[in-house]
Structure 1
Amino acid sequence: MKFVAFERAKQGTGASRRLRISGKTPGIVYGGDTQPQLIEIDHNALWHALKKEAFHASVLEMEIGGAVSKVLLRDVQYHPFRQLVQHIDFQRVDAKTRMTMKVPVHFKGEEESEAVKIDLNLVNHVTTELELNCLPSDLPEFIEVDLSGLKKNGTVTLKDIKLPKGVKWVSHGKVNPVLASAVSPAAEEADVPAEGAVAADAAAAPAGKGGKAAPAAKTPAAKTAKK
């Protein structure tokens, strides 16, 4: 995905404010052997680009003054309540250096799974993004997870899928995270009476002769004390 940026000469709070008023967003590009570079981007073009998933999770081509370089989106600062991007950060990419990046997880096939079609389970997407380490050329735009084999109350974990060649998962101490799980709907559980309630009913009304429940024992009336 390609976008156009322009070199920014002035910096500081006042300069950035004037830039935003003129419809531009201030930013910076850093990393590699080159010094950090101040940039500005057309705000409307940037706003629409940020709505695309690929802009957040893939290697981007940034054009400045006719020169194109590979970068990653690293940080976006939004206005607290206005639809305004206040600042944006990019990191330069070295084609020969492994990089770490979070990519989204896409799920498919859950409607065809036994858990949904037969057992009417609900499917929870537990993990929606994965942090991966790889060379820039190996970075996938997303990881696709097939849920068509999901069984009743079953789960799909990271070990159940195969990552692309050259791509490693950054675990941060986790062993095998759950990506998706199937659970029975709450309505089914609500129809089943609690074990404690059944036991209480049985104790309150023991069976009499002929299998009929015996009436509750009468409480003897209290005697009036004689004067």
Structure 2
Amino acid sequence: MAGEIPDLEAQERTGTGKGAARAARRADMVPGIVFGGDVDPLPINIPFNVLIKKLRDGRFKSTLFNMKVEGHDDVRVICRDVQRHVVKDLPTHVDFMRLRRTTKINLFIPVEVVGEEESPGLKAGGVLTLIRPEVELVVTAGDIPDHVTIDVSALEIGENVSISSVTLPEGAKPTIDRDFVIANLSAPSGLASQKDEDEEEVEADEVPTTEQGDGEASEE
């Protein structure tokens, strides 16, 4: 189960329509709506600066929020749309959907690495690169995992960890169908450079010379 779900505070918006929305924007608020969950839609306003910061943090549309509106019970929501000004590209309206515990949603889940101390590749000086610090999974709103664990304890230099080798939380599955790489273990740069030089020397030794061929031709 996910640990702390970030709060998102909003105010109930009185009035509907374009007039109320314009008034909200003049007050440095962004109008929005919370819908779904067999409950009437709730018009809201979110402080412009708060929304901008969360948008710039990234993953806004795939982050689960605990929405707090005075006079209403807290509810888990996920953003479903952000409308923007056609010229300024600033948010002008935002839609949120209430989530039931059984609702399936797409979320980016952090990757946790274990087994680094036992990895033979790392002991040999290899470099572990976490290609995907997060993986996007389809999960159930009532059972969101804190993280996905990858075990590198048996990883050798040149090997990698792909999503097919990871045990995912029950009910979760990747949003990408192909077997993508999450992390790889490569040789240190110095060792890799030496290997390239050795291969070049071997190739040079294997190149045949024309002196012997010319000598045989002259004898004939």
TM-score normalised to structure 1 length: 0.65
Amino acid at match of 2:186: V
Give the counterpart letter for 1:163 in structure 2: L
Per the alignment, in what secondary structure is the counterpart of residue 142 of structure 2? helix
Q: Pick from 29, 34, 37: which aligns with 1:32?
A: 37
Aligned counterpart, 1:178: 181
Residues 123 and 180, structure 1, Cα contact 8 Å, conserved in 2: yes
Structure having the higher Rg = 1
Q: Which amino acid aligns with 1:181?
A: N
SS at match of 1:203: coil
Superposition CA RMSD, Å: 4.1
What whole-Å deviation, never above 9, does each CA across 1:141-193 have from its counterpart, x for those lacking one? 432434344321112123433223x432145543x433222234666254344
> What residue in structure 2 maps to residue 168 of structure 1?
172
Amino acid at match of 1:73: C
* Identical-pair percentage: 26
Question: What SS does the aligned partner of 1:162 have?
Answer: coil
Q: Between Structure 1 and Structure 2, how many residues are aligned?
A: 204
The 1:171/1:55 distance shift into structure 2, 3 A limit, reads closer
CA deviation after TM superposition for structure 1 residue 19, in Å:
3.4
Q: Which residue of 2 aligns with 1:120?
A: 126
- Residue 133 of structure 1 aligns with which residue? 139
Matches within 5 A, 1:64-75: 64-68=69-73, 69-75=75-81
Structure 1 Cα separation of the partners of residues 68 and 42 of structure 2 = 13
Q: What are the residue-to-residue correspondences of 1:181-196 with 2, within 5 Å?
A: 181-184=184-187, 188=192, 190-194=196-200
Q: 2:3 aligns to what?
A: none
Amino acid at match of 2:183: A
Task: Describe the shift of the 1:60–1:127 C-alpha distance in structure 2 as closer, same or farther (beyond 3 A).
Answer: closer
Which stretches in structure 2 are left out of the alignment for 5+ residues? 1-5, 216-220
Kept in 1, the 8 Å contact 2:32–2:95? The answer is yes
SS at match of 1:167: coil
Match of 1:67, SS?
A: coil
Higher relative contact order (CA 8 A, sep 6+): 2
Q: Secondary structure at the match of 2:157?
A: coil
**How many angstroms apart in 1 are the aligned matches of 2:7 and 2:131?**
31
Displacement of 1:7 in angstroms is 2.6
**Change beyond 3 A, Cα 1:171–1:24:** closer
Gaps of 5+ in 1: 208-215, 218-227
Question: TM-score, normalising length from structure 2?
Answer: 0.67
